[in-house]
């Protein structure tokens, strides 16, 4: 009995010890499980935050398995390709986002590098669900299970900004160049206007000394060239506005332009100019007309490379359009403009030059196209003729045969003398010279307007944009000038000071102050004031008051 009790006691003690051990183990495992639970919750929270961050990231992120099927994609990646959310592409192949050209690049370059190095990055062009091109920076990383992690960023906006930056940089450079060119043009026009004014005034003095017809004819050619040069310089000025069209008499103007170009002929060559006995008028901008004619004359002369060639210029009046009669059968022709409905003033220029083939004629009116080998030729001459036709109406026809010559036929609408518009009548040149006027203004546009107004009234004009040059001219020829017209606000010497110094040289010289600054006190040396821009009527009234109307 005692032995049984002892054994029972021992068994009970073992069971109690085993239970305590089991309880301790259970408590330890429970604690470990609770710690693992908290760690798992923390990891879940971290994964949730990371997933939310990935889903809201600006960069596109996607994962494809070993078969190339998308298993994950954030919304940024999907929206980059035109899809609403990443779920729209889960379970689909990544290849649907690229065209055949891009897939060829993946097979040839990208995937082999991923297999070798575990990653690849570079620029790639994708294709959106709507077919739009998607420019992207792409980075691929191979995962442990063989899948691919894709990170991408849309570079379309960056490309647009880069292009806008490049365009802005280009515009800034062009603006700088334009500003530099404007400054250069202003300097050139200012300085050359002074030179031309001095030449013009000196030639006017010389012309007074010669009554012989031949020297005077040559001087008139110099005057024509000077006036054309001044008109061209005025066109270079940034504030230039084209003058109004004026009535031009072709029977006077064309022969004068021929005389101007005649010195370019070889000594063995000859030029003939035939015009009607009665005036033939057209309405045109004089400078543009003169440029067009001289360019055609010059081209014709330069085309006549042989000796003994003849240049024929003919002006004729036609009651209506008629096809021109040609001296040869043309191998090439160019027709520009349209036939005139009404009277036609026709100018025909026929040269015995090298001629042109059709390939050359097809581009003859384009800017910067030339057949001359001399590098100084710029190919802009005939474009002025095109501008003349477009401005005045009418047409230009060119007929040519290589080795034979060319014929230029320019048709402009003819006008009767009675058709002179009232606003251009004041610009018509009167036959007799009234007196000589000295014009001074640093603004070439204003100077040109005064020049035209005075010449329209029969005055001979000496123009200066630099008052110092004008004063020097007056000192050299004090009795040559019958009137001084000056601007007020000018560099170096103001109009007020110029008037004072001019009266010291010629006390009886009438002086008109032509300016917009007439509110301040006017010097006593000023005989009359004229507001800018001057009109023909206001100028005429002042000339009448000063007894200078002729």
**Is the per-residue pLDDT at 517 higher than 90?**
no
What's the CATH code, domain 60-154?
3.30.450.20
Judge whether residue 442 has pLDDT over 80.
yes
- Give, in order, the Cα–Cα distances in Å from 112 to each of 119, 151, 336, 515, 544: 10, 18, 63, 81, 97
Nearest to 494 by CA among 522, 474, 519: 522
60-154 and 245-425 agree in CATH topology = no
Rounded mean pLDDT of 240-266?
A: 77
- HSE of 98, CA atoms in CB hemisphere, 13 A: 16
The predicted structure's pLDDT at residue 230: 60
Q: What is the pLDDT of residue 498?
A: 93
Q: Is the pLDDT of residue 261 over 80?
A: no
Answer for the pair 374, 367: CB distance below 8 angstroms, yes or no: no
The predicted-structure confidence for 61-98, as pLDDT tens digits, reads as follows: 888 998 989 888 888 888 888 888 888 889 999 998 99
Q: What is the spatial distance between Cα 224 and Cα 382, in angstroms, rounded to a whole number?
A: 21
Q: Report the range of poorest mean pLDDT among 355-364, 395-404, 411-420, 509-518.
A: 411-420
pLDDT for position 224: 61
In this predicted structure, the answer to whether residue 372 has a pLDDT above a threshold of 70 is no
Residue 122 Rama label (left phi>0; alpha psi -120 to 50; beta): left
> What CATH topology corresponds to 436-545?
Rossmann fold (3.40.50)
The pLDDT tens digits of the residues spanning 117-140 come to 999 988 888 888 888 888 888 889
Domain assignments of the chain as residue spans, ordered by start: 60-154, 245-425, 436-545
Say what the pLDDT of residue 426 is.
35
pLDDT tens readout for residues 39-54:
776 665 665 565 555 5
Q: Could you tell me the CA-to-CA distances from 165 to 91, 162, 368, 512 in Å, in that order?
A: 41, 5, 31, 54
Q: Is the pLDDT of residue 22 over 80?
A: no
Cα–Cα distance between 146 and 160 in angstroms, integer? 37
Res. 374: pLDDT tops 50: no
For the chain, percent of residues with pLDDT exceeding 70: 73
Position 519 pLDDT exceeds 90: no
Asked if pLDDT for residue 6 goes beyond 90, the answer is no
Beta-bridge mates of residue 334: 398
Q: Is 23 exposed, middle or buried (0-12, 13-18, 19+ CB in 10 A)?
A: exposed
Average pLDDT, the chain: 79
Weakest mean pLDDT among 129-143, 144-158, 164-178, 251-265 = 164-178
User: What pairing do the DSSP bridges indicate for beta strands 60-64 and 148-154?
Assistant: antiparallel
* pLDDT (0 to 100) of residue 245: 72
Looking at residue 239, what is its pLDDT?
Answer: 53
Counted residue by residue, the chain has a size of 550
Domain 245-425 is of which CATH architecture?
2-Layer Sandwich (3.30)
> What is the band of 512 on the pLDDT scale with cuts at 50, 70, 90?
very high
Cα–Cα–Cα angle for 219, 221, 224, rounded to 5 degrees: 115
Element (H, E) at 505: helix 495-505
- The stretch 354-374 carries a mean pLDDT of 73
Beta strand spans in 250-360 (E): 270-274, 281-284, 310-318, 332-337, 344-351
Does the pLDDT of residue 473 top 90, yes or no?
A: no
Least confident piece of the model among 239-243, 311-315, 382-386: 239-243
Q: Determine whether 54 is exposed, middle or buried from the number of CB atoms within 10 Å of its CB (0-12, 13-18, 19+).
A: middle
């Amino acid at each position: 009995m005692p032995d049984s009790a002892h054994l029972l006691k021992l068994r009970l003690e073992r069971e109690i010890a085993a239970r305590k051990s089991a309880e301790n183990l259970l408590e330890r495992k429970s604690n470990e499980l609770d710690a693992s639970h908290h760690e798992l919750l923390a990891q879940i929270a971290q994964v949730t935050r990371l997933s939310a961050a990935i889903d809201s990231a600006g960069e596109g992120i996607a994962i494809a398995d070993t078969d190339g099927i998308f298993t994950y994609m954030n919304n940024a990646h999907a929206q980059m390709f035109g899809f609403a959310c990443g779920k729209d592409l889960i379970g689909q192949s990544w290849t649907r986002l690229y065209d055949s050209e891009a897939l060829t690049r993946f097979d040839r370059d990208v995937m082999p590098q991923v297999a070798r190095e575990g990653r690849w990055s570079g620029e790639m062009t994708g294709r959106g669900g709507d077919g739009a091109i998607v420019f992207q920076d792409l980075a691929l990383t191979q995962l442990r299970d063989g899948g691919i992690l894709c990170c991408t960023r849309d570079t379309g906006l960056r490309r647009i900004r880069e292009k806008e930056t490049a365009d802005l940089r280009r515009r800034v450079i062009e603006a700088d160049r334009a500003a530099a060119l404007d400054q250069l043009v202003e300097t050139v026009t200012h300085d050359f206007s002074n030179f031309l004014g001095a030449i013009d005034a000196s030639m006017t003095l010389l012309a007074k000394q010669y009554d012989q017809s031949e020297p005077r004819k040559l001087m008139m050619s110099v005057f024509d060239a000077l006036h054309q040069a001044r008109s061209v310089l005025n066109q270079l000025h940034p504030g230039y506005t084209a003058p109004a069209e004026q009535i031009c008499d072709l029977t006077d103007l064309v022969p004068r332009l021929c005389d101007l170009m005649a010195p370019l002929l070889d000594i063995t060559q000859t030029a003939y100019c035939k015009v009607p006995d009665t005036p033939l008028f057209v309405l045109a901008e004089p400078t543009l007309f003169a440029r067009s004619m001289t360019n055609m004359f010059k081209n014709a002369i330069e085309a006549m490379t042989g000796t003994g060639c003849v240049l024929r210029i003919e002006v004729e009046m036609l009651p209506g359009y008629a096809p021109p009669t040609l001296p040869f059968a043309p191998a090439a022709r160019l027709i520009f403009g349209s036939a005139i409905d009404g009277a036609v003033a026709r100018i025909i220029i026929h040269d015995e030059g090298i001629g042109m083939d059709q390939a050359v004629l097809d581009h003859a009116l384009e800017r910067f196209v030339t057949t001359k080998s001399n590098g100084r030729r710029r190919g802009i001459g005939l474009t002025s003729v095109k501008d003349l036709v477009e401005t005045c109406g009418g047409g230009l026809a060119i007929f040519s045969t290589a080795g034979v010559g060319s014929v230029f036929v320019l048709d402009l609408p003819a006008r009767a003398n009675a058709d002179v518009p009232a606003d251009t009548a004041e610009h018509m040149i009167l036959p007799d010279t009234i007196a000589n006027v000295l014009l001074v203004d640093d603004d070439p546009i204003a100077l040109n307007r005064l020049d035209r107004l005075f010449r329209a009234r029969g005055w001979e004009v000496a123009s200066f944009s630099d008052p110092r040059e004008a004063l020097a001219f007056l000192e050299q020829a004090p009795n040559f000038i019958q009137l001084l017209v000056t601007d007020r606000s000018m560099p170096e010497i103001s109009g007020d000071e110029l008037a004072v110094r001019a009266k010291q040289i010629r006390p009886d010289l009438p002086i008109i102050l032509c300016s917009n600054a007439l509110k301040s006190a006017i010097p006593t040396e000023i005989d009359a004031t004229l507001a800018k821009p001057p009109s023909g009527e206001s100028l005429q009234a002042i000339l009448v008051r000063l007894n200078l109307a002729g």
